[in-house]
Chains A and B, each alone.
Chain A
């Protein structure tokens, strides 16, 4: 188990890359740190590894305070974005390197390297040097090196980002299965929310050095706690529209919707994922709970299209299935599904509408 309390890292020059952060990561958990570029994910990961000295706060691994321990005594293994394989060593020596430092005998560490390599289907490549491997193979060698030393914690910094899109999907599935089998606590940094949703048991969404929300992929996706997380998570960004509650009704972008429960009058933010609205190309008669507008842009997503409606001074996006896409410039109506919209006030989730 990793637990961070009040962790702060301030770089010279006053950048607070990690800002009094509290976090608990359970044993064997596959935990993702997700956030936009520059939000402090790498700094947080490096602080856990001991490669950055925190300005204040504590880091505990399995109950032991490791804040002051050097990286080599924390029993963690890290895979870097550039894999950091030693170019002058062959694959066996690379995988066995941490064991060599730990003074494991040559025969034992070579056996361990071979065993780990076969698990990652690298057996054919043991005698090669990193320069003679493809990107995907290098990534697996880097993983093998991390695995072979049997650490308490794996730390991955965007391990998949140097792979092409196809290979990345394969590696993702592979990584998830591997982590299940090994059941080693894993913290893994990504700025690809699809990757985080697919892989992680839990996700921490970060912004500007702080954690905005921690939760399972489904919690983070379905009930984002604030508008930042709402806008960040999802393959197409959520519609976040200014709204107001008046006399038990919700007024959003020209539509009037029923207001759930006990919400006081006042301004709100109405959040609706493009996937959770239906597009109608003829005016629904007698209904006021629809958004009307003109089709401004149609983007092809493969099996679906993302349609952007121009509704007065607001833009509303809707995902429509293949074959139903409207012509650009045509009038269209977006019908929100009930129970799918999120209402925020002062950047806090109030309820689901």
Chain B
């Protein structure tokens, strides 16, 4: 038996085992991705002449997109959405909850964690419906609570509404991740800092963050990607009013499926993919630098 073949299957049978998986990946991942790239170079439409006979238009779609006010606005909104709801909202709030609950006795911790988790595991359509009921102009719970009848939250503050919504919905993940990370911080290290007179912020800076840096990076990468590609807000505002909450996934949907411009939508999807790759690349670089520092 050669060393290159530790399982002793032989080349033919090994390929036989791997093939079904490769075929599935090919059919459902690689092909659609390549197809999207191709579509992005055409003027393919959902209906009409260009649907029957799409023409290759080169990088026209990309130049149009980059010059398009609506696209640039959408990109800007997405940035706000990611920064506001993921990086600031979910990560900071999730960490804060995990930190406060870190050595709370049983029931307080379990109940809080349970409530936060509930927001995470409910199906998005159910959650969206609940939030519409909460924010509704006429009979909304929030208006009743605040005594502001007739206030249209989703119309007057669409971005704020979906950011708060996404924070509420996604904080559980960060909370659990940081909760687990904080278990790795030895109590004696925190206590040494406390004995030296360190404030809470100094304890976080000197003891906690150096320990959980890797967790923070992983967390930020995952939630930024998820939020960047999140479509749930469509069920609250559908991107409106007048595109004021039209983040990229919603924009693509509106352009490609509602507007029927499949080719243009595909080009934007490809841009989104590139942005995601940049996120992942930056993260991997940071993580590698960190390894270098820890093991000199």
Contacts and interface: CB of A to CB of B under 8 A. Distances in A.
B79 to A, nearest CB: 32
B203 to A, nearest CB: 10
Interface in A119-163: 129, 145, 149
B206 A97 contact: yes
Interface of A is mostly: loop
B4 to A, nearest CB: 37
Interface in A35-87: 49-51, 70-73, 76-78, 80-82, 84, 86-87
Contacts of B210: 86-88
B207 interface: yes
A142 to B, nearest CB: 9
B198 A78 contact: no
B191 A129 contact: no
B219 to A, nearest CB: 19
B156 to A, nearest CB: 46
Contacts of B291: none
A326 interface: no
A77 B293 CA distance: 30
Interface residues of A, number: 25
A80 B197 contact: no
A71 B296 contact: no
A102 B193 CA distance: 11
A129 B296 contact: yes
A247 interface: no
Contact of A98 (B186, B189, B197, B211): B197
Contacts, number: 62
B227 to A, nearest CB: 30
A71 B194 contact: yes
Nearest to B194: A71
Interface string B58-85: 0000000000000000000000000000
Nearest to A151: B195
A82 B296 CA distance: 23
Given A12-B105, A86-B206, A80 B192 contact: yes
B260 to A, nearest CB: 55
Contacts of B186: 82, 84
17 contacts: A12-B105, A51-B194, A70-B194, A77-B195, A78-B192, A78-B195, A81-B188, A82-B188, A84-B186, A84-B189, A86-B206, A88-B210, A97-B193, A98-B197, A101-B193, A101-B197, A145-B192
Interface of B: 105, 186, 188-189, 191-198, 202, 206-207, 210-211, 293-294, 296
